[in-house]
Structures are given as C-alpha cells and as structure tokens.
Chains A and B, each alone.
Chain A
Amino acid sequence: MSQISPLNLVYQKGKFGDFENKNEKNLLKISELTNILIFQIVKFKNSTYDIDKIQIDNLFLPNSLQVSSNLDTRILWFGPNNWLVVSSKLDLLSKEEKKFDEQNFALTDLSHSKIIIEIEGNLTNEVLKKGCPLNIDNFKEGNNANSIYNGITITIDCISDSPKKVRIFGLRSFGESLYHSITDASMEYGYIII
C-alpha cells in the first residue's frame, strides 16, 4: 500500500524565510521522512520476560531516554516497557515479529499514523526551544524524549550533534499544524525545504 504524505497539500520545496544574503550552508534544512517503517513494541505489565534476550536488526532495546541505532534502524525508548522502532527496512516487522510472543508483547504498526520531520543545522536547537519546554541544550546524540511543541505531543530523536540533526515525530493528524509550527519558528533563520 502506498503512503500519502500528511503534508501532501502543504509541502513545497525551496528556500523560505529570511534566507537572503546568508550562506546556504548555515540555513536550516527541513524535510519530511516518508516510506519508513514505524512500529511500537509494548511489553505487558505482568510479563516477566527478559528483554535483554531480544535484538531487533542486531540492536538491543534501549534504556530510558536512549536510542539504539544502526544505519537502517533506530529503536527509541518510548516509556517504561515501551519502544518505537523506526526503520528504512520495510520488511523488518514481518521478519522480527516471531521474536515477540503474544503472551508478553503487543506489536503495532504505526507507519501510517505518524509524521516525521527532520531538521538539520546549527540553529536546530533554537527552533526547538521556541515551542518545546525541554532543556534542549542537554539533549545530545543518542537521546530521545517525548514532549510537546506548541501544545502538540511530539517525540524528539537526536540523530547527530555535528551537524545538529533531529527528527520530530508527531501524530499524522497534527502533521500540518506541527509542520507550520516548525517552519514559522524557522522563518527568522531562513530555511530550505528539501
């Protein structure tokens, strides 16, 4: 099944905001990630299953506020006994679901219910600070956190520190509002939609 972007009607490539007379390398780069597999793993409260036995795409399930990752897949801690797997391997869920028995785990495919916006650039933290109450400066590569951005529930995944690059996950139904919030906050710095 093909995926229709939640930003289908508003996403437009180009340069926007206050970009004139600025070095293109210093502009923020904003993009939407599509065609990516997202699924949630929940371990039931009464389960005593040892999660250290489980690996997904050769990655262990991370501890609180951490991310485990390789080139294709990132596993985000989403809460106690709750993880979000994001992967460019679209068949990963069907390959790995045998590891999770129904007595202990629930797997849910969320690929069509999330929006992912990626922001790259030295001013990324400033954009996040405008709408998110997290202490963003302490937020480093390999960290992730659930929070809010202008009242919209989001998950922030810090991909790299240099250059600063983060992914913001939101619910698909809030996609346009989240996108507008982020692009509005980026106006004064100038940004490129890629």
Chain B
Amino acid sequence: MLNIKCPHCGDRSQKEFAYGGDGTVKRPELNKDVSDKDWDNFVYLRKSPRGKHIELWHHIAGCRQWFRVLRDTVTHEIYKTSKIDEDI
C-alpha cells in the first residue's frame, strides 16, 4: 500500500486515490490537423519505464483533484507530487 502526498490534502493512503496513467502524454493541439500516427500515439502508445515515471493520480475520495506523481516503478518510492498546472 502506498502513501501518496496529495498537493492539496497531504499524506493519504492509496485507498483514496485512483491511478490515471502516464502523466507525460500531451493531447494534440485543438483545431490543427493531426496525422493518424500522431493520434494513434496519443490514444494508445504508452511508455512503460523501469524506474522513475511521471504519473497522473486522482484524489477521488478526497479533494477530487488530479495531480502528477513522480514514482519509481521498481521501488514504488514517490519522489515528488505536484498540482496539475505545475511542472514536476
């Protein structure tokens, strides 16, 4: 079980959170032509690194906010968390 530091609420149990996937994926810009490959990459292509990984988490049973987590996928150590509009 992880303890995750929500940027709004502080240290909380993983039970209160929902995992939201890779936090580095950027949606293709709106109102611009997007190639099939770029769209396919955005929808399906995900990195699965061994080591540090930036992830999205949702404090679904807490403040209901999305935020970013820098986590080690091997040791599960959480190095840093940040609000969604801040760089990690």
Contacts and interface: CB of A to CB of B under 8 A. Distances in A.
Contacts, number: 39
A163 interface: no
Contacts of A80: 8, 63, 65
Interface string A136-156: 000000000111100001000
A145 B12 CA distance: 11
Interface string B50-83: 0000000000111111000000000000000000
B58 to A, nearest CB: 12
Contacts of A148: 15-16, 61
Interface string B3-21: 0000011111101100000
Interface residues of B, number: 14
B12 A147 contact: yes
Contact of A147 (B8, B62, B64): B62
B61 A147 contact: yes
A148 B9 CA distance: 14
Of B60, B63, B65, chain A has the most CB atoms within 10 Å of the CB of B63
Contacts of B11: 135
Contact of A133 (B8, B9, B13): B13
Given A133-B15, A148-B16, A64 B62 contact: no
A146 B62 CA distance: 5
26 contacts: A64-B9, A65-B10, A78-B63, A79-B8, A79-B62, A79-B63, A79-B64, A80-B8, A80-B63, A80-B65, A82-B63, A133-B13, A133-B15, A133-B16, A134-B13, A145-B9, A145-B62, A146-B9, A146-B61, A146-B64, A147-B16, A147-B62, A148-B15, A148-B16, A153-B60, A153-B61
Interface of A: 64-65, 78-80, 82, 133-135, 145-148, 153
